[in-house]
Structure 1
């Protein structure tokens, strides 16, 4: 965990301000308009823009959390509740080491949670990477495929155009569903 701090501690309710400092891999550096490691700050007509890894996910959100804490302290925390700030360092890896353990501990506490995460606004989850793993068994590859008629299949991969994938994307259009994976097991053919 990168940071866990609380102020007030006199109320039976808590406002949790939650964020993360780790970032996804930069990918192909040449495709960046500016060096992803520079933290370049450029002025616009109305404000400043920061360019670099994690600028929007979620260094900007961390600034919001810190500014919120500063203002609450300055205003003597007139919310009348505890303020707990939790900034983790494992969200991009699924959150199982920091956030999941904290949520398990906090689940019985009364209060609210503010997470200025810029993605996945309509879901609460541990990590946001999504993969659906489908396991199928059959005597042959063809038999296994015949048990999954709703999937379009080619060379061991479920295609992005599969009806299930399309339906899920419509249902969860606001989220990053990710790819489907197909794990199949082929048994030896039975002799007749």
Structure 2
């Protein structure tokens, strides 16, 4: 036990050998399934899954999965909104064509009163189309927090390692980051 008590340091974890490893990790991080359910599914003890969570799933992996999940949700919602926009636009265009046909038919039948009423209806439809297209043309904005980005988590880890190697670098680094209003604190309250 000269290796610090880790007798399994040469063995790969059972989850690492699975083809669905990434989905299992997502299940653990996102809580989509309980660890007991995951253990049952894999045919291992609960403590094996718990140990894997505690020893193998890094903070960077957690943040990346959380950010990816949020972005996927936003993309799915955006797709739904865009499809709804297309449906609305197609409905208004169809309505405008129908009103135009009514106007043409009324003019051919020399029914000026009906043609005038249809034109008023068409004017309203066209105004609604213009309003709707103006609303549809607005850009959707997606905000992703820098603290959740994989790059920032990696950079923060590198900065922490450098500050551990060169303790004198900690104070000037923090001073400059505060000057530029960059947060270096972690969720646990630790700072670089």
TM score, norm. by length of structure 2? 0.29
Highest RCO, 1 vs 2 (Cα 8 Å, sep ≥ 6): 1
Q: Which has the higher strand share?
A: 1
TM score, norm. by length of structure 1? 0.29
Q: Which has the higher helix share?
A: 2
